[in-house]
Amino acid sequence: MDPAIRALAVLGAVVVLYATEWLPLWLSSLIGCVLMVLVGAADFNTVFRGFSDPVVFLVGGMMVVGEALFATGAAQDLGQRLVKLAGGRERPLLVLAVLAAGGLSAFLNNTGTTAVFIPIIGGIALAAAGKIKAKNILMFVAFAANTGGMLTLVGSTPPLLVQAALTNAGYRPFGFFEFGLLGLPLLGLFLLYAVLGAYPLARRRFTTESLAFATPYTTQNQKAGRTKKIISLLVLLLCVGLFAREVIPLALTAVLGAVLVLLFRCISARELLQRFDWNTVLLLGGALGIAGALDKSGAGKLVAEFGVKALGAGFTPWAFLAVVTGVAIVLTQFMSNTATVAMLAPIALSMCRGLGISPHPVMMALATAGAAAYATPVGTPPNSLVLVAGYRFRDYVLLGGLFTILAYLVIIFLTPVFWPF
């Protein structure tokens, strides 16, 4: 049996485990990694390399910084200020959080943006004494960060990939803000969707708060506590600044932040080990391993080729756009958006040449669809990060699945308006 078929079979089994939640999500990911190796879809080094991926260190490091902000009370202080700005109400806070996360992600890494928001939203939940639940907001922050990455050339990796493909092939490159012609309507639609539709559903669904670091920490004397609070805030600001400038790798920034808060004893090592969310780290590492196996085995390419062949004799430029976009959106729910777009871009570009149509609408749709991962917790690192709030797989399907479909429809119908075939 072809390794690509084996990889797809394993993926199908893992999706069933994710959806039914018979086992913890992290254990399902580990089982998927083991099966990928056992069935010969990919070798051990390829599959388990996911646990040494820089994204894992970025997530883990920022979780440590977040815990330090809670331990010192700095997150709660930030939360109280935002609660006042939002008038102590959850829905206005949701609007502020979505706009802020979406706007920052247009220029900063969306994973780093989400990581910064987690302790702040958690602090708000603590400061609000039950009136505001982090679980009602954090998933939408992650989705907004994903969507904000569609606004500019540097918002996420997919725009850079399609830009390079166009330039290398001798076509006109996209402008820096040209991606916003599609990304801005999607962010506006997401804000309406979140506030008017998904948020009321979340309130009915999440009746209890389960944020991992919502319980009190050991109290410190007032003077020492104030000093450590200032230090933890300075470390957070340092991380934000380094994320923005990217003078060192993002993962190294997060690890540096974690080392600093531990070095200055903003949080004790004992408390950190007890509270650290190992589930998220294991789930993310396993999901990256499965994505690596799909890429290495050729499973993603097989799905793409099948989708293109499905056009058959009924080909039209719009149908081709719809198929490429559909394949990208499906794959990006389970694979890295970088791997998805890197794999599909050369295929789509060569087919555009062969079919005699402009590559710009197809490449723009591909870049945008690559960031439209809303239906699973493993679609993007921001989705995995907010698992700390206690979400389950079906929560993503329920709250993000419909918007995934809406995003697909917006992309395939709006793209040809701005970039004709």
Rounded CA separation 82/331 (Å): 37
pLDDT at 242: 83
> Is 156 a domain residue?
yes
Cα 86 from chain centre:
25
Asked if residue 26 is part of any domain, the answer here is no
* Integer Cα distance of 338 and 316 in angstroms: 27
Mean of the per-residue pLDDT values of the chain: 83
Structure confidence at residue 307 (pLDDT): 63
Task: Report DSSP state, residue 314.
Answer: G
Domain range holding 192? 50-281+298-418
Tokens representing 412 are 């395939």
User: What's the pLDDT tens digit per position in 369-408?
Assistant: 988 999 998 888 889 888 888 898 899 999 999 999 999 9
Do residues 412 and 325 lie in contact, with contact meaning Cβ atoms separated by under 8 Å? yes
CA 403 vs CA 73, 96, 176: distances in Å: 36, 20, 26
Residue 209 belongs to a domain: yes
pLDDT in tens, 323-369: 889 989 998 898 778 777 877 887 788 778 777 889 999 999 999 99
Q: For residues 148 and 155, is the Cβ–Cβ distance under 8 A? A: yes
Encoded tokens for 61 = 């490091």
Does residue 372 lie in a domain region? yes
For residues 195 and 183, give the distance between their C-alpha atoms in angstroms, rounded to a whole number. 18
Whether 374 is in a domain gets the answer yes
| Weakest mean pLDDT among 82-96, 173-187, 206-220 | 206-220
Share of the chain above pLDDT 70, in %: 90
Q: pLDDT at position 181, please?
A: 95
Q: What angle do CA 321, 185, 58 make, to 5 degrees?
A: 85
pLDDT at 240: 77
At residue 209, does pLDDT exceed 90? no
In a domain, 1, yes or no: no
Instruction: Give the pLDDT band of residue 212 (cuts 50, 70, 90).
Output: low
Q: What is the pLDDT of residue 222?
A: 54
Q: What is the tally of structural domains in the chain?
A: 1
With respect to residue 158, please indicate whether it lies within any of the assigned structural domains: yes
Residue 304, pLDDT > 60, answer yes
d(CA 150, CA 165): 17
Tell me the per-residue pLDDT of 149-208, one tens digit each, with 9 for 90 and over. 889 887 777 888 888 888 877 888 888 889 999 999 999 999 999 999 999 999 999 887
Question: How far is residue 332's CA from residue 339's CA, in Å, rounded to a whole number?
Answer: 9
Q: What is the mean pLDDT of residues 50-71?
A: 80
**Angle at which helices 54-72 and 250-263 pack, to 10 degrees?**
30
pLDDT computed for residue 385 by the predictor: 84
Q: For residue 312, what pLDDT is reported?
A: 61
Residue 403 domain-assigned (yes or no): yes
